Chains A and B, each alone.
Chain A
Amino acid sequence: MATILGIESTCDETGASVVVDGYDVRSNVVASQVELHAKYRGVVPEIASRAHIENILPVIRESLGQAGRALANVDAIAVAHRPGLIGSLLIGVTAAKTLAWSLGKPLIGIDHVQAHLYSVMLEKNELPPLPAVGLVVSGGHTSLYRVNDWTDIHRLGGTIDDAVGEAYDKVSAILGLGYPGGPIIDKLAAEGDPNAVHFPRTLLGRESLDFSFSGLKTSVLYHVRGVPGKHHKSGVELNEQSRRDIAAGFQAACVDVIVKKLDRAVRKTRSRSVIVGGGVSANRGLRAALKEFRFPVLFPPMPYCTDNAAMSAGLADVLLRAGRTAPLDLDAITYSALT
């Protein structure tokens, strides 16, 4: 029975969590910096690393306090050391290495993308039918994976331009709405008519497992501001109803593309289930559409969709049992190990 302290600082969230046996989440603390970033439309690295420095020790202390554990009773320290923004990653990695060294406990380096896939195991401890197709969708990621088991994961495809979360953020900006765009558009879409405006679905050919959301973003822009050129068509007036309908039409296009790609990936890899992780996995439109999928679709419990440390502490249990600990000179790396 292993108790693992996990640390997360890959992007704009500072998180710490205590997880027992890879699924039993005793605490999951996230110091959200969203308010800070909303002013600046997104992740600003200088602000992010400064905030991580200020947050990291209080967040670790709080997670231990909530779990009722002293540092001495933790069996290992896990940290998401890739992929992410370098300045942000370094704060978590440095904290984790210092703790592991001073306590004489094993250090475990976690790939954040792999942890997003593992997040479906948290609380439920229910292994999906494997092999599975994994989808990680967030502000920075839109990728498909084949998951043979938690340590044997291969990338099948990904976005060739914008990540889906980024498209949500940019559409939110086009509609004159706030950041992050995901929850705002999801909420508006639920009140709009998805058939009022038709936006294109980019599938990149019959067999491709890659994504493209740039054209969809541009279509929304042209719909709102008008189509430039000699066949000039003026835009639409933005009001409550038109915003709802655009949001619904945009979300329907995103969801359609994701469902089609998942279907393709399952067929191509002869998989038995689908795992969805990352911030966009909280999207209600996507969850509703995948309810009728022909294979079981597993989503993480809501608190583990967005960036958190519990998924890293959970996956670390698997790696610890496999003897895959990290040296104390563990590096922060900007890209994922999954290829």
Chain B
Amino acid sequence: MLQMTVARRKMLWAYIFLAIPIVFFAVIRIYPAFFAFAMSLFDYNPLAIDQPYVGFDNYQTLLAEMNKPRSVTRAAFVNTAGYIVLGMPLQLLIALAIALMLNEIRSFATLFRLAFFLPFVTSTIAISWVFRWLYQPQFGLFNVLLKAFELPQQPFLNNPKQALASILAVVVWQGLGFAVVIFLAGLKHIPRVYYEAARVDGATRWQTFRNITLPLLNPSIVYLVVLQSISFLRMFAPVLAMTDQGDGGPLNSTTTVVLRVYREAFQRLNMGYAAALTVVLFCIILLVTIFQLRVTTRRTN
């Protein structure tokens, strides 16, 4: 009888400990997610008198926009895909190279690590404005340097052909430190005896990398592919800060899905359509996460 009461008392305490978090997650995380789904089915303008139910109209508009060659929404999805497909592999390759090099040296390792790490913890907005200044025509440092080497001046952010790459370079640059730290942690977990064995067998440096380092680094690679893809998918602040009036220009060449969400929801008050965009975003993230779960569980089996 006493045992019973002790067990029940402990159970009661567990619920007390969790009471506020449960209410929080229900009200702030879970309910709004369903609310966003519901909103995407309405013509939701917070200032209008009523919010008519429109079924899947917002999604149909989205689909129609996607099929229009020069629509902003289409540009947003194409650019976002571009940021992921170009940015993620580039970032991981450079980060892996840096991590491998940092792993080889002993002097000044901490100092180097800090240099690569600093941009990651600083505010994206501040960094974006610093680069906007670096990219300036004529007086920006990059163009000053180009001039010093007698190379032609570049418009960078002002040219629709160069703007996306210019913004991408900043995001890749800023995120390197995080990937380097994760890779370094992965490298530390590879038992050194493997390298010694390879050395005894007379394996070349490339063979060692190909057959030992790369396969054993796989968990870090999968983790980073997923995490960085999702963060490129959600790109917003750098584009807002590095384009004129934060419009994702010039000529929509840098706009992203989240920037579309922001503009539609909070500047045009077209919240139903914006909610539909976020539902699509959610579905993509869900697919990427499921991919990660499948890959990681297959490996442990």
Q: Do A and B come from one complex?
A: no
B interface residues, Cβ below 8 angstroms from A = none
A interface residues, Cβ below 8 angstroms from B = none
